[in-house]
Amino acid sequence: MAETLLVNEIYLSLQGESTFAGLPCIFIRLTACNLRCSYCDTAYAFTEGEKKSVAEVRAEVYRLAKRFSHAARAGASATSLASNSPRAAGTSRSNNDSLDIGRHRLPLVELTGGEPLLQKSSLPLMKALCDDGFTVLLETSGALDIAPVDARVRRIMDLKCPSSGESARNRWENLPHLKCIDEIKFVIGTREDYDWAKQMITAHSLAAICPLLVSWVHPLAPEQQDSSLKKVPAGQTAISRQELAEQIIADALPVRFQVQLHKVIWAPEQRGV
């Protein structure tokens, strides 16, 4: 039987949160999540989705990536693109049909959610996309085993801070599996989150493993406030974006502070961007 996935949306936009921020990226948002973080802005992906085969998802990725082949032909050197020869979706191949910037073929492809690893077919999909020559990113909550993910995938793994209400779900056994091409992300909404993140960075020598990302919790729009989300535990003190940035500087924390780029460019509640 064909491998299938429950897919919430597939779209082309700019990567918004990681060391890849700002680069064109095709997002594959998979349905369902086993967590209910207090700040979750994609509750619509908890249940909404359409069944698609891995081949159908790849075909859609190829369709969205197609326009970059024109950019590649127009702008890249003849040497690096001499082997540029479009092929049909679903066939295995190396770099072509795309624009290469530095080491990365554009657009990037990111699996996000929801929690992509809840669906077993996300593993063969990621492998196939890597075989196709894409730079593949995976956004994962850090609550599930990341070990089976193809070694070429760049795993952007959350460590859930206390205000998420899901801190107890961090799967610490994942840490030894992380490599230098992966990234660890802390989403921080309170002073307690900041102190916790700082403590974890030291206790587990996280800066020696891979890049560390710090995002500020962007307040949810009324339509994003799903009743199933966890409450911020009582007694925590909210931290502003500026306070967070200044605290990082004051403490010389070895992290990359980032804003959610898509929320700066488009309305924070807009989907498909």
- Neighbouring residues of 82: CB distance < 8 A, sequence distance ≥ 6: none
Closer to ligand SF4 by Cβ: residue 43 or 175: 43
241 is written with which tokens? Answer: 């974006």
Is the alpha carbon torsion for 171, 172, 175, 176 positive or negative? negative
Q: Does 37 bind ligand SF4 (CB under 6 A)?
A: yes
Mask of contacts with ligand SF4, 95-134, x by CB under 6 A? ------------------xxx-------------------
Q: Does 141 bind ligand SF4 (CB under 6 A)?
A: yes
Provide, rounded to whole angstroms, the least separation between the CB of residue 38 and ligand SF4. Answer: 9
One of 6, 35, 138, 214 touching ligand SF4 (CB under 6 A)? 35
Closer to ligand SF4 by Cβ: residue 25 or 33: 33
Q: Does 33 bind ligand SF4 (CB under 6 A)?
A: yes
Q: Which stretch binds ligand SF4 (CB under 6 A): 11-19, 31-39, 175-183, 216-224?
A: 31-39
Residue 107, amino acid: P
Closer to ligand SF4 by Cβ: residue 33 or 64: 33
Provide, rounded to whole angstroms, the least separation between the CB of residue 114 and ligand SF4. Answer: 5
One of 5, 9, 12, 36 touching ligand SF4 (CB under 6 A)? 36
Residue 144, amino acid: L
> How crowded is residue 16: how many other Cβ atoms within 10 Å of its Cβ?
23
Provide, rounded to whole angstroms, the least separation between the CB of residue 40 and ligand SF4. Answer: 3
Provide, rounded to whole angstroms, the least separation between the CB of residue 174 and ligand SF4. Answer: 14
Closer to ligand SF4 by Cβ: residue 47 or 91: 47
Closer to ligand SF4 by Cβ: residue 207 or 220: 220
Nearest to 166 by CA among 22, 35, 11, 20: 35
| Helical spans, DSSP H, in the chain | 54-75, 122-131, 191-203, 241-251, 261-265
Q: How many residues does the chain have?
A: 273
Mask of contacts with ligand SF4, 156-195, x by CB under 6 A? ----------------------------------------
Provide, rounded to whole angstroms, the least separation between the CB of residue 203 and ligand SF4. Answer: 22
Q: For the chain, first and last CA: distance in Å? A: 33
Nearest to 247 by CA among 214, 201, 222: 214
- Phi then psi for 176, rounded to 5 degrees? -65, -15
Closer to ligand SF4 by Cβ: residue 105 or 160: 160
The rounded distance, in Å, linking the Cα atoms of 45 and 156 is 19
* DSSP line for 103-161: TEEESEEEEESS-GGGSTTHHHHHHHHHHTT--EEEEE-SSS--TTS-TTSEEEEE---
The residues binding ligand SF4 (CB under 6 A) are: 33, 35-37, 40, 42, 113-115, 141
